[in-house]
Structure 1
């Protein structure tokens, strides 16, 4: 697909942690290994900055770069690489002094306010996404790009390797960078300073216990893929391709909408003990999407998946600041026919509630089969969730105000829905998805009309 280019790339450089860095190596746990070769996760943070270009390059950019260098001292592994040494039974994250993070600076002539709107052509923001360098021998953990929209705003793009960090960890890194940047502006400190306790990363991988041998199962699965003994750490290019007429839509469920969905669900289903905001939101969006897309194929069901944070759900709970991957998943199926009916939302909610019960029965139940289950998903439409309202992404303020918009662009290829808290700061839920133009029109109509009919 032809992608619009920024008006110019100003600088393609790298940022190195400031002095004091020491070699750091981390093993990958089975939580990390699950995502070893999956496509990276991409996020864009848009910030208003209606000032001159010179003001941005003279003040904002140097502060962003210096605070990043300070922050990386707390997150040394992010400046390293994932490698799979021949003398190591599994891949590791390895940092050595001199390793850096790719940092691109660009200018864009695309309309900033258009990209911050609720509906726009998906390809219009692809030039804002930093490229993550990966090969069969090594893979970077993160890549960053800062793009200026003259006299309007700027965008910070983060691309992260999923085997290195999950959504909670990547958000924690961004919050830490924002904290350092704000502190640098207010106090002018140029040396390392401590992070707040809730942002200080905890790297001890020994807290992840694996008494049943999940790690070995995952390692063998990757070694056999295009193998034998394939130690590649190169990420797959993409799971699917983005349609040329794809549009990105952003929708909101306000607190009153959510209460309306819960009240309607309570009148329709007998077991009401799990009517969480997450469950009713996902079920409602899933039913609306299926009505809009009308999935075709040999299967009469759609496959849906979601992940849960396992940090507090393990037999021995671990610190909420644990840095890496610590998410488990559940998959459920729903009949297409039932989703297309008026109460498709209820059908989706009932199946999702059953999946949530399995989480309560044991978050690692069936974990040995997670990789094989993913590989066995038949061709066709599969739905999933990216992000979480609990990440509070709209609180990430680098010192120039809260984000005007946050966009997970990697859902364009995975077909996932993105979830976050509402940018309107009203305790609502913001939903993002990418569909063909005519499908988006149908989704929008279904999304609104169903709410009005309950």
Structure 2
């Protein structure tokens, strides 16, 4: 039996290996050198707190038309001139700054012995997805690089293509990533994007607390995607409005966050046999807040967190979760410095560790312009993040390609996911991908 399992696993990985063939590799350097005063990009407190991982985003284009690849490379060279930390290097996991030395961005061309539909209609992610990622950056926690950005253009047998862009989280968040790819696409089409600069960097003396350096137990995670159409989300919002003494008019993201928190916790409770203290941690984009110290379109890492928690008794009430999130969001209005924003992250995780809470991390990228990225091949059919490196109990929201709903990427422990994906209350609001 054991030998059969080993052979089956070997055959599966052998099949994966054959899907992927590297055509070329090249380093794309900035079109203009970085000025001396920008050569050192100091990491902020938030930068220090972000994991040293790459975030691999993949854009799928069914209508890809093969043209002069040098146009794509030239526009990338122009773009990283403005995004100068992206062409630099992070010299070690404990580095306090990005060395903006213009060493460049790796650009890989590859062929994939598969059809584009084999990827865009999958509800889960497996090792085949990793072959779309340059050097598999971001496909595992220990898969890191001094390079801040790497790019891979993969050609499918059907004529479609996937463009993967893997960006170090130390250089920026989801907003920064979306801005970079959009600006690159505009330059490729011959346009002139309005590129906003990185927030002025200053040296931070912040030292990561010891409790954040302790690695948790290794668990096998499963990642699945769920689509929630606006029609169903409106039903959910109406249901929540009837729960309190007065309507609270929750947003789509608030409504879905509270639902998934409740159903994920229900799956964990079903597995363990008892309700345990849990905390919801929701990342908040600080751009566009009332505070002038956080420019609306600044590049880099600019986020804080709000949360809600449950004790070891009682059922999660959706409107109470939303009320808690809103109350903590009001408190964020008093945050005026990056260091203060970073403190919200430290405080949230310290409370989780001290109280031995189960934590669920939510991040919403709804209304970010990922589906506007057009290199001249039309808008992408699908946009995906390889989320395995984010760890267990991670949930991320994006708009659907048509904008008529929310696509949720949910990553849970394997046994809990098997319970979660059969949850009737959850599927009352979903539709097939």
When normalised by structure 2's length, the TM-score is 0.79
Cα 1:65/1:196, change in 2 over 3 Å? closer
Give 1:46's match in structure 2, choosing from 60, 68, 93: 60
CA contact (8 A) 1:304 1:384 kept: yes
Residue 96 of structure 1 deviates from its aligned partner by 2.0
Give 1:27's match in structure 2, choosing from 42, 49, 63: 42
Cα 1:239/1:318, change in 2 over 3 Å? farther
CA contact (8 A) 2:308 2:325 kept: yes
How many residue pairs end up in the alignment?
404
Please give the alpha-carbon distance, in whole angstroms, between the structure 2 residues aligned to 1:120 and 1:280: 24
Per the alignment, in what secondary structure is the counterpart of residue 250 of structure 1?
strand
1:16-415 aligned at under 5 Å gives the runs 16-23=29-36, 24-35=39-50, 37-49=51-63, 56=66, 59=67, 61-83=69-91, 91-97=96-102, 99-117=103-121, 119-131=123-135, 132=137, 139-183=146-190, 195-197=192-194, 200-205=195-200, 215-216=204-205, 218-219=206-207, 221=209, 242-243=220-221, 246=222, 248-254=224-230, 256-270=231-245, 272-273=247-248, 275-293=250-268, 294=270, 296=272, 300-313=276-289, 315-335=291-311, 338-339=314-315, 344-360=317-333, 362=335, 367-368=342-343, 370-371=345-346, 373-374=348-349, 377-378=352-353, 381-411=358-388, 413-414=390-391, 415=393
Please give the alpha-carbon distance, in whole angstroms, between the structure 1 residues aligned to 2:155 and 2:420: 29
CA contact (8 A) 2:23 2:109 kept: yes
Cα 1:336/1:405, change in 2 over 3 Å? farther
Deviations 1:189-239 (A, max 9, x none): xxxxxx433xx1222416x8x9xxxx43x326389959xxxxxxxxx9x99
2:397 is matched with: 419
1:7 is matched with: 20
Please give the alpha-carbon distance, in whole angstroms, between the structure 1 residues aligned to 2:208 and 2:420: 41
CA RMSD of aligned residues (A): 3.7
CA contact (8 A) 1:411 1:433 kept: no
Please give the alpha-carbon distance, in whole angstroms, between the structure 2 residues aligned to 1:79 and 1:176: 15
CA contact (8 A) 1:84 1:92 kept: no
Please give the alpha-carbon distance, in whole angstroms, between the structure 2 residues aligned to 1:168 and 1:301: 32
When normalised by structure 1's length, the TM-score is 0.76
Which runs of 5 or more structure 2 residues have no equivalent in the other structure?
1-8
1:192 is matched with: none
Cα 1:375/1:114, change in 2 over 3 Å? farther
